[in-house]
Amino acid sequence: MPLVWLLCDDRPGNVNQCIGIGDALGYGYERKNLVYTTFKYLPNFLLGDFAAIRDHKASSPLDPPWPDIVIAAGRRTGSVAHWIKKQNHGNTFIVQCMHPGWPAGNYDLIVVPQHDKPKPGHNIIVSIGAPNHITQDVLARESEHWKSEVAHLPHPRIAMLIGGNSKGGKFSEDDIADLARKASRMAESRNGSLMVTTSRRTPNSTIKALKENFTAPYYFYEYAPDRPNPYPGILGLADAIIVTGDSMSMTSEAATTGKPVYIFSTPSIAALKHQAMHQRLYALGCARPLSGTYEEWIYQPLADAAMVAGEIKARMGIEK
């Protein structure tokens, strides 16, 4: 059975992509946590396989036996992945989520979402969204774990996945009020409720404004890194999902559930590539813009992690 390493840094969205592909492969894996030095700011064409980007004392040890497969995400993992392959005399298959920048020819497989408009290449495959760890088994397990937290809420229960400000955009006070009103109107039209979870990017001002503008019954989880997060449980327990358009990871995870997904997006909070992804999901029938009307529909859920896992096995000549 192949030995698989996941290179995990401080970006949860990157880590979730690695975990999703690792789970889909089905071989088990070892997580290698990376803490970077100041060399992290250098582009990959200067770093090459320069392992000094990794803080050796703070990071997980990287020692033999060397892995058959390395799964990584984000530009900064690239030089570490290539260093591992060099130690293993070229016998490690590198899977890179998101384009790492030039040079890219030494990666065995690069997974690029369609909205990034990837150029064709022998080692490039195109995903619809971000590969992730959401599966029906995960949803069932987490639903069972968290169901008591929301047992008092009436159906339909609408999950709300709240992001926050980013380089690509910023939530205005009007945005937050509009989101809260539309979500409440959806829930109240069916005598339902809201299950809200925030992220590490959600400002306190956004949390306060949402609570002030909700009129429907709700459960509210405020993100904290030091306590259990009901996020996957909320996805599993939801009858429908509202997601803010600033996060490609959350949008991809919502569309992987197979449940109706409503995207709240404005030009002020979603960069152009985010908007392109939204349009793709609308065209596929996975999502609809949030209007305040509750609708139900069926679509083919995203399965990007399984697609990537199948491609890895095919290219490595491993039987499925």
Residue 121 lies inside a defined structural domain of this protein: yes
Confidence band, pLDDT 50/70/90 cuts, at residue 270: confident
- Cα–Cα dist 310/231, whole Å: 27
pLDDT for 90 beyond 70: yes
Clarify whether residues 108 and 143 are in a common domain. no
Q: What is the structure's pLDDT at 272?
A: 87
**Facing residues of 7 across strands?**
32
Residue 18 lies inside a defined structural domain of this protein: yes
Clarify whether residues 54 and 149 are in a common domain. no
Residue 48 lies inside a defined structural domain of this protein: yes
Clarify whether residues 285 and 142 are in a common domain. yes
Clarify whether residues 177 and 281 are in a common domain. yes
Clarify whether residues 61 and 109 are in a common domain. yes
- Cα–Cα dist 249/17, whole Å: 9
Residues 222-248, mean pLDDT to the nearest whole number = 95
Clarify whether residues 160 and 251 are in a common domain. yes
Residue 294 lies inside a defined structural domain of this protein: no
* DSSP for 17-43, written as a single string: HHHHHHHHHTS--EEEE--B-GGGGS-
- The percent of residues above 70 in pLDDT, for the chain, comes to 94
Q: Mind listing the pLDDT tens digit for each residue in 144-190?
A: 999 999 999 999 999 999 998 877 678 889 999 999 999 999 999 99
Residue 40 lies inside a defined structural domain of this protein: yes
Q: What is the structure's pLDDT at 167?
A: 74
- The percent of residues above 90 in pLDDT, for the chain, comes to 75
The domain in which residue 117 lies consists of 4-128+305-316
Amino acid at 301: P
Residue 233 lies inside a defined structural domain of this protein: yes
- Cα–Cα dist 178/291, whole Å: 10
Q: What is the structure's pLDDT at 42?
A: 64
Q: What is the structure's pLDDT at 50?
A: 62
Clarify whether residues 154 and 262 are in a common domain. yes
Rounded to two decimals, what is the model's pTM?
A: 0.91
Residues 77-105, mean pLDDT to the nearest whole number = 88
Clarify whether residues 103 and 180 are in a common domain. no
Clarify whether residues 117 and 154 are in a common domain. no
Is residue 233 within 8 A of residue 199, CB to CB? The reply is no
Residue 296 lies inside a defined structural domain of this protein: no
Residue 265 lies inside a defined structural domain of this protein: yes
Clarify whether residues 177 and 61 are in a common domain. no
pLDDT for 44 beyond 70: no
Clarify whether residues 207 and 260 are in a common domain. yes
Q: How many structural domains comprise the chain?
A: 2
CATH number at 24 reads 3.40.50
Residues 273-278, mean pLDDT to the nearest whole number = 92
Residues 241-246, mean pLDDT to the nearest whole number = 96
Q: Mind listing the pLDDT tens digit for each residue in 128-146?
A: 999 999 999 999 999 999 9
Clarify whether residues 86 and 204 are in a common domain. no
CATH number at 247 reads 3.40.50.2000
pLDDT for 301 beyond 60: yes
